[in-house]
Amino acid sequence: MTNPVTKDRRHFEDLAIGEVIDLGRTTVSKQMIISFAREFDPFPFHLDEEAAKASLLGGLASSGWQTGALSLKMLVDSFLSTIASCGGLGFRDLKWKTPVMVGDTIGGTVTIAELRRSGSHPQWGIVTLDFDVRNQKDKPVLTMRLANLVECRNAEALA
């Protein structure tokens, strides 16, 4: 059965190892940081500038989960919404390398590291993606390896 939402998008067979995706850029405002922190990470160092200055972070910084979520948003806009994505499986080795401070602009690249067909579900493949997110000073902000399911165009041609 063809999925009308994804039928014209790139499928698993159309992806290649080594393909580099440009994530574009996102500038992180004080309002974004506080709004996410209030709902999901209400530590004083994500909510209050004075408390943040006294913390290990040295100033108001986004929650690491928000940095990850913003990296994901950039991947959805630049890549996942253009392929027949079937959802994420998870990730490995997420590292928060430099805090994202108010006014910082983050961007970077994602590289296709691995492609393999699912053993149990012939209609799916798994794409493994390496994130290299950096700030405006080209300092590494976040790295991780994410796994995502992708529909195969040809479910029968199992390798």
Partner 1 sequence: MTRWFEDITLNEAFPLGDHTFSAEEIIRFATLYDPQYFHTDPELAKHSHFGGLIASGWHTVSVGHRKMVDALFAEEERLRGLGQEPGVSGPSPGVNAMDFKAPVRPGDTVTYTLTVTDKRPSNSIPGWGLLFNQITAVNQRGELVYESHLVGFSKLRDYVMPLRLRLLLAITKVPVLSKLIRRAS
Q: Return the number of the residue (6 or 109) whose C-beta is nearest partner 1.
A: 6
CB 74 within 8 Å of CB 109: no
* 127 vs 114: CA distance, rounded Å: 6
Instruction: By CB under 8 A, name the binding residues for partner 1.
Output: 3-6, 39-43, 45, 55-57, 63-65, 68-70, 72-73, 76-77, 80-81, 85-96, 99, 144
Q: Return the number of the residue (18 or 153) whose C-beta is nearest partner 1.
A: 153
User: Positive or negative, the Cα torsion across 32, 62, 21, 122?
Assistant: negative
* 19 vs 66: CA distance, rounded Å: 26
Identify any residues that bridge with 10 across adjacent strands, giving them in sequence order. Answer: 83
Q: How far is the CB of 90 from partner 1 (least distance, A)?
A: 4
Q: How far is the CB of 20 from partner 1 (least distance, A)?
A: 21
Q: How far is the CB of 106 from partner 1 (least distance, A)?
A: 13
CB 87 within 8 Å of CB 6: no
Q: Return the number of the residue (12 or 45) whose C-beta is nearest partner 1.
A: 45
